[in-house]
Structure 1
Amino acid sequence: MDTGGREPADATRSTGPSAVRADRTGEGKPPVAQRLAAWGRDALPGLAVVAVCTGLAMLIGRFTPTVSPLLIAIVLGAVIANVVPLPQRIEPGLTFSAKRLLRVGVALLGLQLVVGDIFDLGWGVIGLIVAVVGLGIVFGMWAGKLLGLTWTQRLLIACGFSICGAAAVAAADGVVDAEEEETITAIALVVIFGTLMILAIPLLTDLTGITDEQGGLWAGASIHEVAQVVAAGGAIGGGALAVAVVVKLGRVLMLAPVLTAIGLMRRRADRARAAAGDAGSGAGDDVTGDAPAAVKRPPLVPLFVVMFIVFVAISSTGILPDPVLSVGKTVETALLTAAMFALGTGVRVATMKKVGPKPFVLALVQTVFVAALSLGGVLILT
C-alpha cells in the first residue's frame, strides 16, 4: 500500500565512510538495540497521538455502547486530519499503527469465535453465510469492473461489505497491498453505508412483518460491522440480537479462507507475469493491480491469517477461562481502534473528491445486493 510518505526512514542507515569501515571490520549493521531505539524515536510521537486518541475513542464508546470504538476512532481521525494540519513527525507512528497493530488486532479477533456456535446455527444458515460472502464478493468484483474501478479498489469494497467491514478491508489490503486512498475510501464507505443499515434493517423488519428472529438473521447476514449488527439487533428487539451476532461472527470466520484464496490468486498471477516477462501491463494487471513482477511474492497465507486461525482453534477448545478471553477482547479492541484512528487520519475531503462517485455507486449496489440476497435466504430457511 502506498502510504503517502508514512513509511519511516531508516534512521540508522548510512552510506558514508563509517558504514564502509563497519562493513570491512565485519560489524555490519548497528546493533539491534540501537536500531530499535532509532525506530522508537521516529515512531514515538505518532504512537503517543494514537494512544491518546484510542483511549478517547474507547472512553466515548463506553458511554455509547451501541457505537463501536472502531467507528468512533475512524471519525475522530478523519475530523482531526481535516481540521488540523498533522505534523510530519507523527507519520511513522501512524503507519505502524495502520499496518502492524491492525494485523495483530485482526489475529486476536479469532478469540471471539467459537466454531461450535456457528455449527449450532444449522447447515442452512451456514450455507447462507457462505453464499452471502462468496456471491457478495463475486458480485462486487463484477459490478466494480463494469464501473471501471481498479481490481484492488473493488476487492476491498467487496470484502468489506461481504465479510466484516473495516477489519476485512484492512486485512485484504494486507494481502494485495492496495493504494492508500483505495483503502481509506473503502473504510469510509463501510462507515457510511453500515450506519445507514443500522436504521434501515429494523425499519424494514417492521414494514415487512417478518419475525424478530428473522430480522436478527437478516441483520447478521447483511450488515457490515459487528458493532453495527449489535446496534441493529438491539433495535429489532426480542431474540434478534443473539442470533444476529452469531450469524455475523460466522461471516467473520470466512475471513481466513477468503484471504487465503486471494493470496493464492496473487501468487499465481505474479508467477504468470514473471514467466511472460511483462512487468508493466497485460492480463495479470486485473488481478495484481500495478505491482511489478519483480517484487517479492506475497506469502501463501499471511502470518496474521495463520494466527487468526490458531486463535479460533484455541477459543473453540474452551480451555481459556473467561477472564483471559475478556482481556484478549479488550486488547483486540484497543489495537483495532488504534489502527482505525490511524487509517481515519487519511480520510481527507480532497481524497474523497478525487476518487469520484464510482466507489460510492459500487458501495450502494453492493449493500442492496447483499441485503436482498440475505433476506431471500432468510425467508427460504424460515
Structure 2
Amino acid sequence: MQLQKTYPKAIHSQNNHGQCDRWWRGLSGILFTFVMALLGIGLAKIPLIIHLGSMITAILLAIIYRQVFGYPEAIREGVQYSGKKLLRYAIILFGFRLNVDVILQQGLGLIIQDVLSITLAITATMLIAKWLKASQSLSLLLAVGTGICGAAAIAAVSPIIKAKEEDTAIGVGIIALIGTVFTVIYTLLYPIMPLTDIQYGVWSGASLHEIAHVAAASAPAGEDALAFALLAKLGRVLLLIPLCFLLAYWMGKDKNKAAKVDFPWFLVGFVLASLIGTYAAIPKVLLDYIATFSSFLLTAAMVGLGLNVSSQALRTRGLKPLISMFVSSIILSIISFIYTIVFL
C-alpha cells in the first residue's frame, strides 16, 4: 500500500527533474551561442579581421569549434533554438533599420534598377548552378543573398524554402567571402572608374552584397556617394519582402515539395517593425540600440548555424554554388555599371 502511494510521486518527481534538465540544456545552449557571438564581435575589431564583420567571424569560430571539439550534443536544444528561433526574431528586429519613407520619397527611381539587379542575380546564379549541377537549395540561398542583402536575406529565405541549417551556414560564409573580395576590388577601382561620386555610390549600392560591403566601398567617395549607395541598397532590402512571399507561394504550389510550407509570419513582423521604425516617434538612440541588439541576435544565430557545418560539406557542397555565385556577381557588377552610366 505504501508503494502505491509513493510510486506516482516518484514518477512526478522524475518528470519535473527531466523538464528542469531539458530547460537547463536549452538555456545553456543559448548562452553558449551568446558567448561565441561576443567572441566573434570582439575578434571582428582586430584590423585584419574587421572587414569580415562580426557575423562572419562568429560563424567561422563555430565551424572551427565543430571541427576541433565536435558538436556540443549536451546542449543541442539550445543551440538549435538560436539557429532557428533567434534567427527569426533577429530578422523582425532588422526591420527597424529599413526607413520606408526615405525609399518611397527619394528612392523610387532606384527601385527599377534594384528590381533588375535582383532578377539578374537570381536568374544568373540559378542557371549557372543548374549547368554545374550544383545544390539547388544552397544556390538559391546564395542567389537571394547576392541579389538582396547578403546574410540577412539568406537568413530570411532559409526557413521559407526549408533549407538545411548546414546549407544556410555555408551560404552565409560564402556570401561574406565573395562580398568582401568584391568590396576590396570596388575600392581599388574607384579612383580609375569613369563615374561621378554619386554614380559610383549607386553602382555600389545596386551590386554589392551586404549593407556593410556597400558602406565600406562607397565611403571613400564621400558622404553623397555613401548616401546614394545606402539608398540603392535599402531599396533592395525593401524588395526582400515581396520576394519572400513569392517564394512561399511557389513552395506551397510546387507539388514536388512534400513538406507543408508554413506562412512566414516573421516577415509580417519585419514589415510592422519597418513601419513602426519609420513612422512612429521612436528616439534615434533607441533605434540604434535595437539595431545593435538585432545584430547581436543574428550573430548568435550564425553560431547556431555554423555548428552544423562539417568540413566535408564545405568541400562537397560549397564549391559549385560558390562558383555560380561568383560568376553571377561579376555579371551583376558589369550590368549594373552599364545601367548606371546610361541612365544616371
TM range (shorter): 0.7 to 0.9
Counterpart check, 1:199 vs 2:184:
yes
Q: Is the 8 A contact 2:169 2:302 kept in 1?
A: no
> Which residue among 100, 114, 120 is the counterpart of 1:129?
114
C-alpha distance in structure 2 between counterparts of 1:139 and 1:67, whole Å: 25
Instruction: Within 5 Å, give how 1:1-382 maps onto structure 2.
Output: 37-61=20-44, 67-237=52-222, 239-269=224-254, 273=255, 284=256, 288=257, 292=258, 295=259, 297-299=260-262, 301-355=263-317, 357-382=319-344
Aligned AA (1:51): F
What is residue 4 of structure 2 aligned with on the other side?
none
Distance 1:267 1:83, change over 3 A: same
Q: What are the Cα deviations for residues 232-279 of structure 1, in whole angstroms up to 9, with x where unaligned?
A: 12244453222222221221111111110000011111xxx3xxxxxx
Aligned AA (1:378): T
Q: What are the Cα deviations for residues 320-365 of structure 1, in whole angstroms up to 9, with x where unaligned?
A: 2213212211211111011112222334322211226311211211
Distance 1:246 1:157, change over 3 A: same
C-alpha distance in structure 2 between counterparts of 1:348 and 1:235, whole Å: 38
Secondary structure, in 3 states, of the residue corresponding to 2:121? helix
- Give the drift of 1:69: 1.8
* Structure 1: runs of 5+ lacking an equivalent: 1-16, 23-29, 274-283
* Farther off after superposition, 127-136 or 235-244: 235-244
- Give the drift of 1:229: 1.6
Secondary structure, in 3 states, of the residue corresponding to 2:287? helix
C-alpha distance in structure 2 between counterparts of 1:356 and 1:176, whole Å: 18
Q: What TM-score, normalized to structure 1?
A: 0.79
- The alignment of Structure 1 onto Structure 2 pairs a total of residues equal to 332
Q: What are the Cα deviations for residues 188-241 of structure 1, in whole angstroms up to 9, with x where unaligned?
A: 210110110110112222232322222211111111111122221224445322
Q: What are the Cα deviations for residues 67-115 of structure 1, in whole angstroms up to 9, with x where unaligned?
A: 5322221222223223333431132222111111011101111100111
Distance 1:43 1:253, change over 3 A: same
Distance 1:369 1:35, change over 3 A: farther
Distance 1:56 1:37, change over 3 A: same
Q: Is the 8 A contact 2:126 2:324 kept in 1?
A: no
C-alpha distance in structure 1 between counterparts of 2:283 and 2:61, whole Å: 34
Secondary structure, in 3 states, of the residue corresponding to 1:364? helix
* Structure 2: runs of 5+ lacking an equivalent: 1-6
* Farther off after superposition, 127-136 or 178-187: 178-187
Distance 1:309 1:41, change over 3 A: same
Distance 1:66 1:350, change over 3 A: closer
C-alpha distance in structure 2 between counterparts of 1:36 and 1:173, whole Å: 30
Secondary structure, in 3 states, of the residue corresponding to 1:346? coil
- Give the drift of 1:182: 2.4
C-alpha distance in structure 2 between counterparts of 1:74 and 1:339, whole Å: 9
Q: What TM-score, normalized to structure 2?
A: 0.88
Q: Is the 8 A contact 2:52 2:180 kept in 1?
A: no
Aligned AA (1:342): G
Distance 1:70 1:36, change over 3 A: farther
Aligned AA (1:110): G
